[in-house]
A and B are shown apart, each in its own frame.
Chain A
Amino acid sequence: MIKVKNLYHSYKKDDIYQVKDVNFEVEEGEIFGFLGPSGAGKTTVQNILTGLLEIHKGQAEVAGYDMKNISKDMFNKIGMSFEQSNVYSKLTALENLKFYAKLFDVETRDPKDLLKLVGLEDKANMRAGEFSKGMKHRLTFVRSMINNPIMWFLDEPTTGLDPSIAADIKNIIREKNKQGVTIFLTSHNMFIADELCHRVAFIVDGEIKLIDSPRNLKLQYGDKMIEVDYIKDGENINDSFSTILNEDKKKLKEIIDNYEIQTMHSKEASLEEIFIKVTGRGLV
């Protein structure tokens, strides 16, 4: 669905590239996570793939369309949910969706159904300017579904949402993916990527450092740990031990044999920890 080859981009159109030699492919029906800290080049790549930015060097193909020579018809097939909400504040939620729907050449979804999907049905006739940040974000999110896209770009889809709404959004993403929609998810939130993505790419300073599935990454880079709470000399102690290092294994056995264990959990390395390990950079 997406093919990117030797992609470069410079905002100043000089030799200092913000995106350098990016290569990857996204299969049809896949949820592909594009992960990295702020300023890593995630949004730049996404904007190139949605036609908002031009390609300076390299090649990109989205849904069968060459991004160097974009056909307007491509926009009937893609949808994009922006990180920053961008809806008309002087129009109501319903008017926003109805207006946007009329700009497509394909059959569009019923705006009322979409509002219901994200719990905004009661606010349909309220001006978007009076919405909270989270409500605007939900409106921006469902607007991106209005043309039934087969390729769906999501930029930080759950940022700023309370946990229950974020869970609803994640369920919608899963549901759309089950229906065959390919999803390109940009985020610095490793938890959502871990939950949703089939594969992830780590991008830092405009370069992709690694692409793999979260499971493979954990197997390859994550040390399995055991977290133990035990009582020693009347004192409650919490400690972690590697299941790979012999020294840690011995220590753990000694604790089990000699002390009263309160709780004991196995703990996998998180995607965030792996990102730091691989790239040497945090996600902020």
Chain B
Amino acid sequence: MFKKIWTIFLRDLKVNIKDFLSLYILLIPFLFAIGINLFTPSINDTTVNLAFIKEENNQLVTYMEQFAKVEEFDNLETLKERVERRDSMIGIVPEEGQYYIMIEGNESDMDIEYSKMLLGLYETGLNIEDSKTEIIEFGRTIPPIKKTLVNTSVLFISILAGMLISLNIVEEKVDNTISAINLTPTSHNSFLLGKSIIGIIFAIFGGLALVYITGFGAVDIGKILIIISVSTIISILVGFIQGLINDDIMTAAASIKLLFLPLIAAVLAVEILSEKWQRFLYWNPFYWAYKGNDLVLNKSGSWGQVLIYAGIVLFLSGIVYVFLAPKIRKGLE
């Protein structure tokens, strides 16, 4: 049985690597991860970056290192080039015995005011020891938008896993090969499992790759695997159904996209709605998966909490399975 399941999986993998659309889907987790890294601020952006001319005023540089991230440049020209880059970098430039602040224009007002204040403090001779202010760090090390994007993308990948399965089923239908499979000693269960593996592996490895590449590698892998696995079940079921009821790849892919609606609804509900309105999304497995993922990415969820969320997703997926399984079996006959 396992040999047959593996054979069916390897066939799908071989075909998916040869097929442009499937190959594109397989690469999406990496493209998403790169995109998220490029377009969201990194952890370093949560402090102020200051640029100085090397050896110009070592005392000032040492002073500023207490409060900001400091970089030094050989001359004004290279400093200016650095400031002009996309990220937030403020130059402290000497002129006629005084200093002025050089900015590109995309720096936040807060960073600019903070730099001005630091320069004022230095000029008045105040040190950090003189400060009576206590800075409390709330443990936020990752920008919230990045976490939201990673969480949404992990669930998005689970839907793409369903799409991948759907494409493989449509291929079987177009080539009319299911009847040939039915004339071998391969059971329907082996066939379904064999066809599911590509989706499960894609969702798990794609999700993990995305998590690692975007800098969330320190999260509990076991917990995130649990959430990814259970949230993929519903996508796989829908993938099978759409594959069996559609006769061409584009229609099947378009039908699978309907799953993006409950996914987006779940994200918006958690991020925007108050708790009392969120109860209207309790039927949605993506809502619970998103909440579970959020706990894992925050590194704040216990095993108990994660298992409760995973259990709810599993239960809701089980209900969907009860409705869809007979249709899937009939479609394979």
Chain A residues at the B interface, C-beta cutoff of 8 Å: 50-52, 72-73, 75-76, 78-80, 82, 84, 86-91, 95, 99-100, 102-105, 143, 147
A82/B18 contact (C-beta < 8 A), A73-B185, A103-B4, A104-B185 known? no
Residue B275 CB within 8 A of the other chain: no
Separation in Å of the B117 CB from the closest CB of chain A?
A: 65
CB neighbours (8 Å) of B184 from chain A are 75, 100, 103-104, 147
Separation in Å of the A174 CB from the closest CB of chain B?
A: 23
Would you call B15 and A88 a contact (CB within 8 A)? yes
Would you call A103 and B7 a contact (CB within 8 A)? yes
* Chain B 166-183 interface mask (CB, 8 Å, partner A; 1/0): 000001001111011111
Would you call B14 and A102 a contact (CB within 8 A)? no
Separation in Å of the B207 CB from the closest CB of chain A?
A: 27
Would you call B185 and A75 a contact (CB within 8 A)? yes
A-B contact pairs, 10 of them (CB 8 A): A51-B182, A52-B333, A72-B185, A72-B186, A84-B176, A87-B180, A89-B174, A90-B15, A102-B7, A104-B184
Would you call B175 and A89 a contact (CB within 8 A)? yes
A-B contacts counted at CB < 8 A amount to 64
Would you call B182 and A103 a contact (CB within 8 A)? no
Q: Which of A52, A91, A143 contacts B179 (CB 8 A)?
A: A52
Interface residues of A, dominant DSSP? loop
| Distance between Cα atoms of A147 and B177 in the complex (Å) | 17
Would you call A143 and B182 a contact (CB within 8 A)? no
User: Which residues of B in the span 145-196 have a Cβ within 8 Å of any Cβ on A?
Assistant: 171, 174-177, 179-187
Residue B54 CB within 8 A of the other chain: no
Separation in Å of the B12 CB from the closest CB of chain A?
A: 10
| Distance between Cα atoms of A87 and B178 in the complex (Å) | 10
Chain B's closest residue to A127 (CB) is B18
CB neighbours (8 Å) of A90 from chain B are 15, 18-19, 171
What range describes how many residues of B lie at the interface? 20 to 34
Which 3 residue pairs across A and B have the least CB separation, nearest first? A86-B176, A103-B184, A72-B185
Chain B's closest residue to A96 (CB) is B177
| Distance between Cα atoms of A154 and B293 in the complex (Å) | 54
Would you call A95 and B183 a contact (CB within 8 A)? no
CB neighbours (8 Å) of A79 from chain B are 183
| Distance between Cα atoms of A108 and B15 in the complex (Å) | 23
| Distance between Cα atoms of A91 and B176 in the complex (Å) | 14
| Distance between Cα atoms of A76 and B184 in the complex (Å) | 7
Chain B's closest residue to A106 (CB) is B185
CB neighbours (8 Å) of A51 from chain B are 182-183
Would you call A80 and B183 a contact (CB within 8 A)? yes
Separation in Å of the A105 CB from the closest CB of chain B?
A: 5
| Distance between Cα atoms of A52 and B3 in the complex (Å) | 23
Would you call A105 and B183 a contact (CB within 8 A)? no
| Distance between Cα atoms of A75 and B7 in the complex (Å) | 18
A103/B177 contact (C-beta < 8 A), A90-B15, A91-B14, A91-B15 known? no
Separation in Å of the A52 CB from the closest CB of chain B?
A: 6
A86/B180 contact (C-beta < 8 A), A91-B14, A103-B4 known? yes
| Distance between Cα atoms of A87 and B217 in the complex (Å) | 43
